[in-house]
């Protein structure tokens, strides 16, 4: 399917990429992960790369269950380690389009070390991080993205730790592609993922997603949350990333979204292939 046509895929085309026999999925009503899963499938259809050449890798958590529902090669590995698995696979099979799909806890907290080093190396993988500000699978503990002051299962008197500003973190290490949307920005998420497939290097998309079950967002219903994403998000592609951190979740929160970074890049894997060519010719 060529991108120029911009025809939305039919339900049948999308269904053909789902493991329908596994439905219903595990996600709670009002969860945003399914929206991003569908956006990924739509982006895959638009990518022009056959499904057999796309691979999903995930860690552990609600978001990491996503590859289990998509009918392409998918690897649901151990907590925090989706990135190194993806890097190993991509390095030996460069023709595959490898995407990591996981949550904020998996990628930025337990897997934080792999995240920063994959960016530093500029590994040629796509990373989609669903940020719902909590560990949903285990019942709502605080993590690296939980806003200060939040009352969670493990911060019953209020969270007193600082919060990662993930787009700033990722961009500061030099990721060639960094974007952030909320689950309300469905079209933008699809466009972004299609673009990520084309970058030779590390691409990062943060999707802000509701978890009304386990976060302070639980004072709201799904509709009012979507309204919050609509009314309180601001598209600013050139935002100063120092100011995009999400340190609270209430009526005052500003969700700054957009494509923050998109610059030319040559990945570790491309550089390594050149190195191998040089060495095999007898160079030092």
CA 148 to chain CA mean position, Å:
22
Rounded CA-CA distance 222/211 in Å is: 9
Compose the 2-41 pattern: x for residues touching other proteins by CB under 8 A, - for all others: -----------------x--x-------------------
State residue 66 phi and psi, 5-degree precision.
Answer: -55, -45
Pick one of 7, 8, 10, 113: the residue that binds other proteins (CB under 8 A).
Answer: 113
Contact 53, 89 (CB under 8 A): no
Cβ-based burial of 85 (10 A; exposed 0-12, middle 13-18, buried ≥19): buried
State residue 177 phi and psi, 5-degree precision.
Answer: -145, 120
Pick one of 25, 34, 53, 213: the residue that binds other proteins (CB under 8 A).
Answer: 53
- Contact flag: residue 275 with other proteins (CB under 8 A): yes
- Contact flag: residue 213 with other proteins (CB under 8 A): no
- Contact flag: residue 75 with other proteins (CB under 8 A): yes
Residues forming a β-bridge with 120: none
Name the minimum Å distance from CB 227 to other proteins. 34
Pick one of 1, 28, 51, 155: the residue that binds other proteins (CB under 8 A).
Answer: 51
Pick one of 4, 23, 223, 280: the residue that binds other proteins (CB under 8 A).
Answer: 280
Contact 44, 51 (CB under 8 A): yes
Contact 203, 262 (CB under 8 A): no
Specify the stretch interacting with other proteins by CB under 8 A; choose among 111-119, 166-174, 175-183, 223-231: 111-119
DSSP string, 40-79: HHHHHHHHSS-GGGEEEEE-SSTGGGGGGGBSSEEEE-ST
Please report, as residue ranges, which positions from 181 to 210 form the binding site for other proteins (by CB under 8 A).
none
- Contact flag: residue 67 with other proteins (CB under 8 A): yes
Name the minimum Å distance from CB 189 to other proteins. 23
- Contact flag: residue 48 with other proteins (CB under 8 A): no
Binding site for other proteins (CB under 8 A): 19, 22, 51-53, 55, 57, 67-68, 71-78, 81, 83-93, 95-96, 113-114, 117, 121, 268, 272, 275-276, 279-280, 282
């Amino acid at each position: 399917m060529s991108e120029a046509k911009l025809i939305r895929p039919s339900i049948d085309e999308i269904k053909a990429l789902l493991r329908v026999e596994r439905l219903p999925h595990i996600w709670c009503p009002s969860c945003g992960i399914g929206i991003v899963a569908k956006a990924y499938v739509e982006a895959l259809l638009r990518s022009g790369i056959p499904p057999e050449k796309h691979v999903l890798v995930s860690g552990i958590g609600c978001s990491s269950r996503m590859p289990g529902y998509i009918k392409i090669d998918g690897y649901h590995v151990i907590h925090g380690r989706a990135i190194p698995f993806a890097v190993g696979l991509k390095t030996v099979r460069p023709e595959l389009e490898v995407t990591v799909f996981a949550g904020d806890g998996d990628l930025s907290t337990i897997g934080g070390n792999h995240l920063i080093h994959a960016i530093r190396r500029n590994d040629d993988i796509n990373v989609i991080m669903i940020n719902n500000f909590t560990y949903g699978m285990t019942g709502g503990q605080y993590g690296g993205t939980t806003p200060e002051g939040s009352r969670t299962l493990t911060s019953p008197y209020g969270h007193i730790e600082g919060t990662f500003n993930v787009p700033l973190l990722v961009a500061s290490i030099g990721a060639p592609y960094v974007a952030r949307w909320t689950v309300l920005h469905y079209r933008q998420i699809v466009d972004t993922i299609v673009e990520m497939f084309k970058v030779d290097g590390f691409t990062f998309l943060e999707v802000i997603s509701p978890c009304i079950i386990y976060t302070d967002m639980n004072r709201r219903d799904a509709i009012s949350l979507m309204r919050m994403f609509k009314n309180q998000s601001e598209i600013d592609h050139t935002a100063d990333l120092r100011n995009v951190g999400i340190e609270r979740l209430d009526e005052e929160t500003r969700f700054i979204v957009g494509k923050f970074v998109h610059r030319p890049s040559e990945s570790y894997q491309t550089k390594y292939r050149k190195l191998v060519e040089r060495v095999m010719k007898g160079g030092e």
